């Protein structure tokens, strides 16, 4: 088996991304006629989730089942031997004997990189603290590509909410930077874009601006909304200060372009009103659906078996 981990959005070239987008579209099409694509029927995926998750963990597990594989899982620090004091290294070294692929979510930034250095099977970063979430970025990129012509046209993406701790944003910026995109970051300065991401955009001559004014969303093709992440704040009063600062509702959408799409990695709190759920601009539930197809693609990517999809055409 070809060992190819997914640890950061930085590792993908433009040609990698174009291939992944094309194969994801193929899988979406194939699943209309096939409930299962038996390509990974000899493989076991271990999902090691030491932070809460619904969509990421279940979409990975469903993706593995749809590919004919099997799943073993550990969910929550308290339900693993880490609660007894076992090191992450020891946990992973044992896991290496049980599974062929490991998808890991951990509260410590860089944990997936440690994992990849510790074991010989592919490791997929399913979120590491406030660092990155590269597979979410892949499904987000695919979602944008479904609704916008990112290959031939320039798009403007507005990121709203917790820009400082939003790991989904950090990874998506890196992927979109390989296309013709510009950015608006809408947040209070206290939870604005970290300097290292600003420096990277500046070095690549990518246009961006920062503002606290939600009306800036009116000039965007894509609105990417995130919740204020209570679990990342040491001071709860800071969370209370910002939690209801931005709310996307019908009145706000009236000020925006008619063809804007509103995305959200979910879960949401109050930042996206349920009154827009049935509006054509709201694509966050389709976004979650696309997580299944894109993660099927990524499981085939890390095992070097993407070409096996051709047998189902």
Neighbours of 56 (CB within 10 A): 25
How far apart CA 174 and CA 172 sit, in angstroms, is 5
Query: Which overall architecture, per CATH, does domain 134-287 show?
Result: 3-Layer(aba) Sandwich (3.40)
Task: State residue 111's pLDDT score.
Answer: 86
Residue 125 pLDDT more than 50? Answer: yes
Burial 113-150 (b: 16+ CB within 10 A, else e): bbbbebbebbbbbbbbbbbbbbbbbbbbbbbbbbbbeb
Task: State residue 89's pLDDT score.
Answer: 79
The model's pTM is 0.92
User: In CATH, what class is 9-132+291-312?
Assistant: alpha beta
Q: What tens digit of pLDDT does each residue of 155-204 get? A: 999 999 989 888 899 999 999 999 999 999 999 888 899 999 999 999 99
Same fold, 9-132+291-312 and 134-287: yes
Q: What tens digit of pLDDT does each residue of 266-313 get? A: 988 889 999 999 999 999 999 999 999 999 999 999 999 999 999 987
């Amino acid at each position: 088996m070809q060992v190819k981990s997914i640890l950061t959005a930085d590792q993908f070239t433009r040609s990698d991304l174009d291939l992944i987008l094309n194969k994801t579209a193929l899988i979406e099409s194939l699943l209309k006629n096939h409930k299962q694509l038996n390509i990974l029927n000899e493989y076991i995926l271990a999902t090691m989730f030491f932070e809460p998750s619904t969509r990421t963990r279940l979409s990975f597990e469903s993706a593995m089942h749809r590919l004919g594989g099997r799943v073993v899982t550990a969910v929550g620090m308290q339900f693993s031997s880490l609660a007894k004091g076992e090191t992450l290294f020891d946990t992973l070294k044992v896991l290496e004997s049980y599974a062929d692929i490991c998808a890991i979510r951990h509260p410590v930034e860089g944990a997936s990189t440690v994992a990849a250095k510790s074991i010989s099977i592919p490791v997929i970063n399913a979120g590491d603290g406030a660092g990155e979430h590269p597979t979410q970025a892949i499904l987000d990129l695919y979602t944008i590509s479904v609704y916008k012509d990112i290959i031939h046209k320039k798009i403007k993406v507005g990121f709203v909410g917790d820009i400082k701790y939003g790991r989904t944003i950090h990874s998506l910026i890196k992927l979109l930077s390989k296309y013709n995109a510009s950015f608006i970051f809408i947040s209070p300065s206290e939870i604005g874009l970290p300097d290292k991401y600003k420096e990277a955009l500046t070095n690549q001559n990518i246009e961006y601006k920062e503002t606290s004014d939600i009306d800036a969303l009116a000039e965007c093709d894509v609105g990417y909304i995130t919740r204020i992440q209570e679990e990342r704040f040491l001071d709860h009063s800071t969370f209370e200060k910002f939690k209801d600062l931005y709310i996307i509702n019908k009145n706000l959408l009236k000020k925006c372009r008619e063809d804007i799409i509103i995305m959200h990695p979910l879960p949401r709190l109050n930042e996206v009103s349920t009154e827009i759920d049935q509006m054509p601009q709201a694509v966050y539930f389709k976004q979650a659906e696309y997580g299944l197809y894109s993660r099927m693609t990524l499981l085939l990517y890390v095992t070097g078996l993407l070409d096996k999809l051709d047998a189902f055409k």
